[in-house]
Amino acid sequence: MLYAYEAETESVPPQSFLGMDYAMHGLYADSEGNRPVYPGYYREVEEKLKREQRKLSHMVKDSQNWKKQKKKIAKLFAKTADQRKDFLHKESRRITNAYDCVCIEDLDMKAMSQEMNFGKQVMDNGWGMFTDFLKYKLEEQGKRLIRVDRYFPSSQICSCCGEKASVTKDLSVRRWRCSYCEAEHDRDINAAVNIRNEGIRMTSG
C-alpha cells in the first residue's frame, strides 16, 4: 500500500495522486500532461479590462470621463473576478472527484513576486484561491492536499531516473533531454511528476 493514513481522520487511503506544477501563465501543468487554461470568455473580458485600463491612464484625473471610465473598469474587474472564481470552483471540483491526493509545491507567492519582480502578475492568476478551494473540497471528501517543500528541486530532477540535470537551472529551457537516461522532458510536466512522486514518498509509511 502506498499510503499510511492518520488514524484520527476518517479519510480513505488515497489510491490516486496528482502532481501540479504552478504556471505563471495559465494555472498549472499536471503530472498527467494537462495544462488547463482559463476559458476563452474569461480571457476576453480580461483583455477588455486591460484595454480600458490603458484608456484610463490617458485621461485627465478626476475629469467626468475619467470617473465614468473608473466605473466601467470596476464593473469589468468584478466580472473577471466572478468568472475566475467560478472557473476555479469547477476546476477544483473536477480534480477532487478524480483524485485522492493532490500534491503541490508549498510556494510563497508574495516572496516570489517580490524577488522576481513580477509584481501583480504572479499574485493575480488565481493560484492561491485555487489551492484554497482544492484543499477544502478534498478534505470534505476525506482526501488530501499535500504541500511539498518549496526547496524540493522539482524541475531539476529527471522524473524517469532521478538524476539531477544542471541544464534546467536555466529557466528559459522548456524542453530537455536527460543526459543519463536520455528521457525527453517538458520542463513543467516533469516537475509535476516529481512533485507527485515526492507527495507519494511523504505519505508512504
Q: Footprint of Zn ion on this chain (CB under 5 A)? A: 158, 160-161, 163, 178, 180-181, 183
Which CB, 113 or 156, lies closer to Zn ion?
156
Q: By the 8 A CB rule, do 185 and 159 touch?
A: yes
| Angle at 39 (CA atoms; ends 155, 94), nearest 5 degrees | 70
Which CB, 131 or 154, lies closer to Zn ion?
154
Q: Out of 21, 46, 100, 198, which one is annotated catalytic?
A: 21
Instruction: Write down the least CB distance from residue 167 to Zn ion, Å.
Output: 12
- Determine the Cα–Cα distance for residues 169 and 175; give it in Å rounded to an integer: 12
Q: By the 8 A CB rule, do 19 and 31 touch?
A: yes
Which CB, 11 or 156, lies closer to Zn ion?
156
Residue spans of beta strands (DSSP E) within the chain: 17-22, 28-30, 101-105, 144-148, 175-177, 184-186
What cell does 129 get?
A: 484561491
Residue 198 appears among annotated catalytic residues = no
Which CB, 107 or 183, lies closer to Zn ion?
183
Residue 105 appears among annotated catalytic residues = yes
Instruction: Write down the least CB distance from residue 9 to Zn ion, Å.
Output: 36
Instruction: Write down the least CB distance from residue 172 to Zn ion, Å.
Output: 21
Instruction: Write down the least CB distance from residue 44 to Zn ion, Å.
Output: 41
Q: Out of 30, 46, 91, 105, which one is annotated catalytic?
A: 105
Cα-Cα-Cα-Cα torsion 5, 189, 21, 117, nearest 10 degrees, comes to: 160
Q: Out of 30, 100, 188, 198, which one is annotated catalytic?
A: 188
Residue 149 appears among annotated catalytic residues = no
| Angle at 22 (CA atoms; ends 122, 203), nearest 5 degrees | 135
Q: By the 8 A CB rule, do 125 and 24 touch?
A: yes
Instruction: Write down the least CB distance from residue 194 to Zn ion, Å.
Output: 11
Which CB, 161 or 173, lies closer to Zn ion?
161
Q: What is the amino acid identity at position 180?
A: Y
Q: Which residues are catalytic?
A: 21, 105, 188
